[in-house]
Structures are given as C-alpha cells and as structure tokens.
Structure 1
C-alpha cells in the first residue's frame, strides 16, 4: 500500500478513523469489536478496501513478484486486439516504453479535468456506500456530476455530520476552483 495514501473508516454514519493505513488500523484496534460492519475507504479513489493488519507491525510486508519494485514498477496483464499488439511491437523502445509514453501523454492533456473527474467518481462511490439510502441522495448525486457545489451542499446539509464533512472534504477536488460547497 502507498504510505502517502489516506483512508477513512466508518461505522454506520460515524467516522471512526482517518489517516494512513497504519493509523486507521491502529485506531480500529483501539476501538475493538464494533456493533456492525466497518467500511474503510481509500480517500483518493473512493473504493472500499480491506486493510492488511500486518501493516501495524514495524516492517511493512515485502511485495514479491514480477516488476521492478524498487523503482515502483508493477507487472500486470493487458488485453489488446492483435492490431494494437502489432503497432506496439513496431515501436522503437519496446512495448512497455510505448505504453508508458501513451499514458504520460494522456495524463498531460488535461490533468486538472482528469483530477476533478476522478475526485467526483471517488466522492460518488463513498456517497453511494454511506448515504445511498439517505434523503436527497439522488439530487446530491445529480448536483455532484453537474458540478453544482452549492446545490450539492444544500442536498447533503441534513445528513449525519461525519458523512457530510467527509464528503465535503472529498468534493473539494471535484468542483472547479472558486466554487466550493
């Protein structure tokens, strides 16, 4: 797990921990047994995650497998059509280098728009998991994807404080500058 990534844990509508994976796990250990499921979210992606309790130990687990871990390179499988493979094989620096160049080019095209899109999607994932059955959920979702921060804030204002505050923090990246909820 990325040591700079942050996570937030909820027990129902109550936020019980936020911080690095290690910090969240330590807090969950202090809280002990809970009356219900604890949901842990990756703050960047909004995905629900299960944190590895071994992260609380002094040394993080060593990742084994292909790739060049010291450089941060991870090996994964990619499925492409034959014509795509043919094109990649013709590239001068090899397939991996060509793919890296394509990804870097796509990231440079409009990095701000990409960041706001990813932030909206992350906020929506968390909002669906925590507030999908709360009043005004659908309107809040519409406001989120319409980039209407005022309407979004209005729709979630009566939600439980921890959910509302966490979503407000997540959507800071989802709305254009100067249009804060």
Structure 2
C-alpha cells in the first residue's frame, strides 16, 4: 500500500495497519473498513454517499480517514458537522489527533460552534461602558467573567467554569445576528 492511497482505504484499518498502530486498543471491524472504502470511492468520484451503520461499527474513523486523505491529496478543505457538542469534542480531543498521527499528515483543524456559544465583544463593551441596564444577578455574572473576557483567545463560553445559575445570564453577552 502506498502512502495516502484512497483506492485501498480498507488497508488502513487492517490489524497491524496504520490505525491499529496509532490507536491503542483499536479493534478491526470489517464493516468499518467497508464503509471507509465506500466513502473514499465517493470522495474520489466527487459523489454524494448516504450510508447507514449501526452502533459500534466505527463510523467516525470510517468517514474521517478518507476525508483526511482526500483533503490532503486534493489540497481542499473539509467540514465535519456533528449533531452534538459531545461528539464534536470527542473529534477534536481524541479522534482527529489519533488519525492524523496514524497518517502522519500535517493537516490543520479547528473547532467551530454556533455563534451563540461565543462572546460578542460589542455587547461586552456596551455593558462595560454602562450603556445597558443590568439586573443585580447580571452584574454579578459580568463581574465573574471580566478576567476571562479580557484574556480569552476564542470567546468560547465552554472555557468558563461557572455554575448554571450564573450561566443563565450568558445571552446578554452571546453573539447573535444583530
């Protein structure tokens, strides 16, 4: 198998293959290898693919591996959208780094969420300038996040470790369409 070959995608998942070597405890699943091969073929033909696979098949690796190889080969960006933030965090924190390690590809990746997850700097500065009327509870919330707001590089509310009673005030700072 030549390096970064889309045509034999299943070989990446074989026992002793690149994924098995890079991911401790990886277990070969024929369904996963077949799904990865089908996805690779769809990428190569620039076609859509609708696929269904049950729990435990290994869908995440099956779509990530061909997506990475296609992105690298074609010098194209890819977007992976998840239904839940939990899966998104699993991808960013574990699965993507593991598969990039398995391929030795130098691909850049980042996490993006809906705008309501991010601090709106305009809202924040208006509040600090006294241009918004806040309840006492909202003022406490702003006081608690001042240091974070001035230092955050992402503005992602997930960086905050505040209790739910305080976080219910997040909408006064959340980015929106305005």
Task: Report TM bin, short chain.
Answer: under 0.3
Bigger proportion of residues as helix:
2
Q: TM-score, normalised by structure 1?
A: 0.21
Q: Which structure has the highest strand share of the two?
A: 1
When normalised by structure 2's length, the TM-score is 0.21
